[in-house]
Amino acid sequence: MNTMPLLGTSLWVFLGLTILVMGFAAFMTGQALANTWKPFWHAVIYCLLLGFADRFLTFALFDGELLSPTGYLIDAAVLIAITLFAYRLTQARKMVSQYPWLYRRMGPFGWKSIDPTESGD
């Protein structure tokens, strides 16, 4: 196995386990937090825990370094980014679908208030 010292594992394990498997879990976490109207900072706490799980699975399944501080920080940062991406995407969709009389969609991550003076036609 070609271990990258910065990641504490090989690039393929990082891509497969961290990005695909744990990234899916992070994406679903972001959606769940947005769907239940939780504050975004909960994502950071949950992803720090997902980062620990990712480090353990890297160690247990692929003989990676368990106590790699840089590997953990990179894993956690990637998972936080994926979670916040999913959180904002879901939050924007929910705001527009739940309050169509107040907001309209402005791109994939945003919404804006509907101006009552504008004509809807």
Tens of pLDDT, residue by residue over 41-97, are 999 999 999 999 999 999 999 988 888 899 999 999 999 999 999 999 999 999 999
Question: What pLDDT sits at residue 119?
Answer: 55
Model pLDDT, residue 19 = 95
* Average predicted confidence (pLDDT) for the chain: 89
pLDDT of 103 reads 87
pLDDT at 8: 81
Q: Alpha carbon of 116 to those of 73, 92, 93, 96: distances in Å?
A: 47, 20, 21, 16
Neighbour-count burial of 18, counting CB atoms closer than 10 A to its CB (0-12 exposed, 13-18 middle, 19+ buried): buried
